[in-house]
Amino acid sequence: MKLLAFNGSPRKKWNTAQLLEHALEGAESEGAKTKLYNLYDLDFTGCISCFACKRAGGKSYGNCAVNDDLKPIFEKIEKADAILIGSPIYYGITTGVTRCFLERLMFQFSVYDAERSSLFGKKIRTAFMYTAGATDDMVKEMGFDRNAKGTEMAMERIFGSCESFFVTDTLQFDDYSKYVAPRFNPEEKKKRHKEQFPLDCKRAYELGARLVRKDS
């Protein structure tokens, strides 16, 4: 089993990255091979609407024709058994880099055909992990849970399955005194991080294991 994970956060050591690392550990505990990509390290853009992946009889039908850093990664995804994408919530949606990645990933396999839902050659497991400095209530107010559901439905249609979980009210700074953020109580943030984040990491570990477990 092979699990590919993608960090859509510009921070390579913070909440999203840590959760992804725990998920990979969970997958490896089940004997899976894993690989983590930091999307901010890659050179690529969103979909350029060239429609080469939709051209009848075209050499790129069903595959993105753009030749950038995503091309070899898409080839690896076609051989993977599961993919996991992590992103912080920025203004009610994923980071821009994550969204660009999703555009390119999904559109090449999407099809304008009522009889067929996907050009992807097999069924694999997919999942999202979302992080937010905002509380659960604030995330709902921004409508991100609804935005995420739409993306989840699209991924399920293309790849066969998709699940998501949210980690909210995260610790954004190691020292709140250095930043102007009076909306948050630094001591409450630190207390929640100490108590809740280890539980969230455990959930991430379990998710990684579940994505590659043969009997799940």
Q: What are the tens digits of pLDDT across the range 27-71? A: 999 999 999 999 999 999 999 999 999 998 888 898 999 999 999
Beta strands of 89-139 (E only): which ranges? 125-131
Q: Note if the pTM is more than 0.75.
A: yes
Ranges of each domain in the chain: 2-212
Q: Are 128 and 152 in contact (CB under 8 A)?
A: yes
Give the integer Cα–Cα distance in Å for 133 and 69. Answer: 30
DSSP bridge partners of 5: 36, 84
Q: Are 82 and 161 in contact (CB under 8 A)?
A: no
What's the distance, CA 30 to chain centroid? 21
Question: How is domain 2-212 classified at the CATH fold level?
Answer: Rossmann fold (3.40.50)
67: number of CA atoms within 13 Å, CB side?
1
Note the pLDDT of residue 57. Answer: 85
Is the model's pLDDT at 14 over the cut of 70? yes
Q: How many C-beta neighbours within 10 Å does residue 59 have? A: 8
Structure tokens at 113: 């055909």
Is the model's pLDDT at 136 over the cut of 90? no
Give the integer Cα–Cα distance in Å for 78 and 149. Answer: 24
Query: Where residue 216 falls among pLDDT bands split at 50, 70, 90?
Result: low
